[in-house]
Chains A and B, each alone.
Chain A
Amino acid sequence: MSNGTKSESLIDALDGVRDAVLSIGGAGVIEYPLIAFPSEHVLAFNNNEFSHLRGIAEGQPYFTSDGEITDLQHRLLPGSKVQSTFPVELSKFLDVYQWPNPQPEPFDLPTNHSVDTTNAVPAASSKQAYFFGDGSYLVTVGPSIPKIAFTKDGGAQFWVSSVGVISRRSKRYVGLHWQCLFEGFPAKAGPERPSQLLAAGVFDPGWYVLQAGSKEGSALANEPIAGQTDNGLERAVR
């Protein structure tokens, strides 16, 4: 048999099957080694966040979000926490309703040595902090694009997609983090006063994937966070 499980009795075996059924896919598992390179860790998880649009009166609006992390089966990771923020430029807000032009073929070559970027440029940079139950954490920063689509029930679906580069991490993680954040909410109101609606707060489950270099053998493992710099990262991995 290829696995290490050897039950002592039929009852033990049935209990094992029961437990396995209860944890199909592995409860709380966020590592995906089957799609990682040998020196790489791939993490994928979901966030349940609650977001508010703040700073409207001050003329500097931004989304502020807090929540918790779940695995991809939507099971909570105990002790986890996420915080993120995304500034909003009011002058560009209407861009969220605009979509790109159809892209010409071929899709694996630039057309006339360029790509049509209409309505597909970043609106701002966001930052995200992920805190895991074992005390590890990752902080990322990078460009974000928000979009809103109207739904037939009179509501709207809101998404934000971001690229995140790891800027801070606890001793468990060193390397790079690519992350995607999607926020969505089924609004009952129309889009006429979106800022008012968003200021009231929205619940958004996000989907994240991280691909990070291994820290194994790293000299950085015990260095304090405050001492971690770009050069420190390279020292650690070299």
Chain B
Amino acid sequence: MAEQSATLVEALDRIRYSLEHYVPHDIEQPQLTIGPVEHVLAFKINEHHFLKDADTDTPHFSNQGYFSDLSGTALRGSSCRTGLKIHISKLPETEKWPPPQPEPFDDGISKPNHTDPLGHSKQAYFFHDGSSLVTTGPSVPKILKLKGGGAQLWVASVGVIAQGTGKYKDVRGLSSYVGSAHFPHWPAKPPEQLQLLAAGFPAVIAAYFKLVLKEDQR
């Protein structure tokens, strides 16, 4: 025990504090499933990213990391590998934003300007029990300049499960990958921006899966 309470009241107050700040240390989210056979997974990924081939017209992000639960507690034995190729000519699009969407919001009509995927990515997630999931799908990166001279980079991807191993062998389902990185200083010119990305940087990602196991499929 880290620290002994001096009184019973203090001990109870500490229990209360722990309960109020409790986050389940599990990636399964059964309270958010629908139907009898769906599984929902949610977890955070700590990754290190490199922009490789930064001196070419088609550089790619090469990323490696490990998982945490949504409270930030690392999940031992986990790892991931992800990759995204982009074309240098599309970089200006990362700073453009979609127009306001007209109401009503449920009428089937949207104005998707500046939301086109700038690349297609693949993601591989390896779990501590030896199971794995691999997805592929379109990715949309965006960069927001911050008032201190820095920048926030986001990449969001839709993932369609392509393969799996262990308990995830032959599963079907979709995922979403939402990652971000913060740069305290963001250079003004693209060559210097690419140089910064090529040097490598940490990223934090949230990944969400909804899937059906092989045994529940027909």
Question: A108 touches which one: B37, B62, B70, B101 (CB < 8 A)?
Answer: B62
For window 14-62 of A, CB contacts with B under 8 Å fall at 14, 16-17, 19-21, 23-26, 32, 34-40, 42, 44, 46, 54-55, 60, 62
For residue B24, which residue of chain A has the nearest CB?
Answer: A25
Collect the chain B residues with CB atoms within 8 Å of residue A42's CB: 206
* Contact status B163-A102, CB under 8 Å: yes
Collect the chain A residues with CB atoms within 8 Å of residue B64's CB: 108
In the complex with contacts A120-B162, A141-B112, A213-B146, A9-B9 CB distance below 8 A:
yes
For residue B10, which residue of chain A has the nearest CB?
Answer: A1
* Contact status A24-B13, CB under 8 Å: no
Collect the chain B residues with CB atoms within 8 Å of residue A1's CB: 10, 13-14
Within 8 Å of chain B (Cβ to Cβ): is A132?
no
Chain B: interface residue count, which band?
Answer: 35 or more
Question: What 1/0 mask marks residues of chain B from 104 to 134 whose CB sits below 8 Å from any chain A CB?
Answer: 1111111110111101111110000000001
For window 139-178 of A, CB contacts with B under 8 Å fall at 139-145, 147, 149-155, 157, 159-168, 175-176, 178
Within 8 Å of chain A (Cβ to Cβ): is B187?
no
In the complex with contacts A6-B13, A62-B108, A85-B107, A74-B115 CB distance below 8 A:
no
* Contact status A128-B152, CB under 8 Å: no
Within 8 Å of chain A (Cβ to Cβ): is B29?
yes
For window 162-196 of B, CB contacts with A under 8 Å fall at 162-163, 172-176, 178, 180-182
* Contact status A17-B85, CB under 8 Å: no
For residue B125, which residue of chain A has the nearest CB?
Answer: A107
* Contact status A14-B12, CB under 8 Å: yes
* Contact status B156-A178, CB under 8 Å: yes
* Contact status A107-B208, CB under 8 Å: no
For residue B140, which residue of chain A has the nearest CB?
Answer: A163
Complex CA gap A13/B20 in Å reads 13
Within 8 Å of chain A (Cβ to Cβ): is B200?
no
* Contact status B115-A205, CB under 8 Å: no
* Contact status A167-B98, CB under 8 Å: yes
Question: What 1/0 mask marks residues of chain B from 48 to 79 whose CB sits below 8 Å from any chain A CB?
Answer: 00001000001010111000101110000000
Question: B16 touches which one: A17, A66, A73 (CB < 8 A)?
Answer: A17
Question: B144 touches which one: A21, A85, A176 (CB < 8 A)?
Answer: A176
* Contact status A20-B16, CB under 8 Å: yes
* Contact status B38-A107, CB under 8 Å: no
What is the minimal beta-carbon distance from A2 to any residue of chain B, in angstroms? 8
Complex CA gap A159/B208 in Å reads 12
Collect the chain A residues with CB atoms within 8 Å of residue B142's CB: 165, 176
* Contact status A141-B81, CB under 8 Å: no
In the complex with contacts A128-B105, A141-B110, A230-B96, A35-B19 CB distance below 8 A:
no
* Contact status A37-B152, CB under 8 Å: yes
| Interface core residue of B122, B139, B145, B215 (most chain A CB under 10 Å) | B122
Complex CA gap A164/B173 in Å reads 19
* Contact status B32-A110, CB under 8 Å: no
What is the minimal beta-carbon distance from A198 to any residue of chain B, in angstroms? 13
Within 8 Å of chain A (Cβ to Cβ): is B34?
yes
* Contact status B63-A127, CB under 8 Å: no
Complex CA gap A127/B110 in Å reads 6
What is the minimal beta-carbon distance from B37 to any residue of chain A, in angstroms? 5
Within 8 Å of chain B (Cβ to Cβ): is A80?
no
Question: B176 touches which one: A122, A176, A180 (CB < 8 A)?
Answer: A180
* Contact status B98-A165, CB under 8 Å: yes
For residue B107, which residue of chain A has the nearest CB?
Answer: A85
Collect the chain B residues with CB atoms within 8 Å of residue A217's CB: 147
* Contact status B178-A120, CB under 8 Å: no
Within 8 Å of chain B (Cβ to Cβ): is A204?
yes
In the complex with contacts A35-B44, A142-B112, A211-B178, A119-B212 CB distance below 8 A:
no
Within 8 Å of chain B (Cβ to Cβ): is A121?
yes
* Contact status A184-B136, CB under 8 Å: no
* Contact status B106-A83, CB under 8 Å: yes
Query: Measuring CB to CB, which residues of chain A are less than 8 angstroms from any residue of chain B?
Result: 1-3, 5-7, 9-10, 12-14, 16-17, 19-21, 23-26, 32, 34-40, 42, 44, 46, 54-55, 60, 62-66, 72-74, 83-87, 99-103, 105-110, 113-117, 119-122, 125-129, 139-145, 147, 149-155, 157, 159-168, 175-176, 178-180, 182, 184-186, 203-205, 207, 209, 211, 213, 217, 225-226, 228-230, 233-234, 237-238
